[in-house]
Structure formats: C-alpha cells, structure tokens
C-alpha cells in the first residue's frame, strides 16, 4: 500500500504541474497533422505517464491475455492447415486409385519396350567408349611407361599467318616517345 500511496502522490503532483513548452508544441503539432484539437494537459499526462502505463499490472494482464489468445488462434490455424493438407493427400490417393486400373491396361498392351530414338554421336564418344572397353595395361617399369595423352582442346587456334598480320598492324612508336606524350 505504501507504493500505491507514493504513486497517488506523484500523480497528484503531475496534475498540479503546468505543461512545458514541449507539451504545448506537441499539442499544436497534433492539431496541425490530424486536425484534432488536443488538450495540452492531456498531452502532458500522456507523455509523462506512458511508460508507467506500459509497466502497470493492468496493462501487463491485458497483454498476457492477448498473447494467450494469439497462441490459441495460431493452434487453430495450424489444425486447419493440417486438415487441408490431409484432405489434399486423400484426394490424390483417390485419384491414383482411379488412374491405376487404366495404367495396368496400358502396361499389358505395351509390353515391348519403346524403340530408342537415333541419337547423334558426340565428339570423342568413340574414343571414350574404346578407352572404357580396353583396360590399360600396367607396366612395371616406370621409365618405359607412356605418358597419358593430353586432352585435345576444342578451341581452334588462329593460323600463324593471321597472328602475324595482327602483330604487323601495331601502331609505330616514335623514337622520342615518353610519358609526357601520354597526355
């Protein structure tokens, strides 16, 4: 009770205290922005007591009720979500049962495997197939062992003549060229 009496005395002192310049400017600002004419004393009390209101037992009880209600609503949403998912799974299973007899009839008719389409050969596929088919003989002498063939690059190199032409087209540099000429 001593704490309640202290708070009552404090609240009475706040009521007796005149609003500051900040409170008056804030009330004017509220009116400018919203068109609502706010009482300066109400603005003062709201500014000063806001934090104490948030800490109060009354406000904390309301917030706890809201949290509990939110948890209950979330559980309801989760139950509905699970029911929808189960319904979708049941519908999919029913469709699969209906489609299953049709698929069995198709399988009886098409016992022969489908013919493979003619595919194009890729470059190097014959050499790769040969390499897989022929096991590599392991030689015991390291000196006599051949080095594995280097992979061939698919990029074409420029002919030497074209390379020489581009080198010949380089701009000539004067003998008295220096850094000052770079400009």
Q: What are phi and psi of 35, to 5 degrees?
A: 85, -5
Estimate to the nearest angstrom the gap between the alpha carbon of 81 and the chain centroid: 24
Q: Which position has the higher pLDDT, 88 or 104?
A: 88
Task: Assign 96 a pLDDT band (cuts: 50, 70, 90).
Answer: confident
Task: Assign 80 a pLDDT band (cuts: 50, 70, 90).
Answer: very high
Q: What is the mean pLDDT of residues 51-72?
A: 92
For residue 137, pLDDT over 60 is answered with no
For residue 151, pLDDT over 90 is answered with no
User: CA 37 → CA 20, 26, 33, 97, 127, distances in Å?
Assistant: 18, 11, 10, 70, 90
Task: Assign 58 a pLDDT band (cuts: 50, 70, 90).
Answer: very high
R_g of the chain computed on alpha carbons: 44
- Computed over every residue of the chain, the mean pLDDT equals 77
For residue 146, pLDDT over 90 is answered with no
């Amino acid at each position: 009770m001593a704490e309640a009496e202290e708070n009552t005395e404090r609240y009475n002192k706040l009521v007796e205290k005149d609003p500051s310049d900040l409170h008056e400017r804030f009330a004017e600002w509220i009116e400018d922005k919203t068109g609502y004419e706010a009482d300066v004393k109400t603005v003062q009390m709201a500014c000063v007591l806001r934090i104490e209101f948030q800490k109060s037992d009354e406000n904390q009880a309301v917030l706890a009720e809201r949290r509990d209600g939110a948890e209950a609503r979330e559980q309801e949403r989760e139950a509905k979500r699970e029911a929808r998912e189960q319904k979708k799974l049941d519908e999919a299973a029913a469709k699969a049962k209906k489609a299953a007899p049709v698929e069995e009839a198709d399988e009886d008719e098409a016992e022969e495997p489908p013919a493979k389409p003619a595919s194009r050969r890729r470059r190097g596929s014959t050499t790769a197939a040969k390499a897989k088919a022929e096991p590599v003989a392991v030689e015991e002498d390291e000196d006599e062992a051949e080095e594995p063939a280097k992979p061939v690059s698919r990029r074409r190199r420029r002919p030497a003549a074209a390379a020489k032409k581009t080198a010949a087209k380089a701009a000539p540099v004067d003998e008295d060229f220096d850094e000052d000429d770079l400009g």
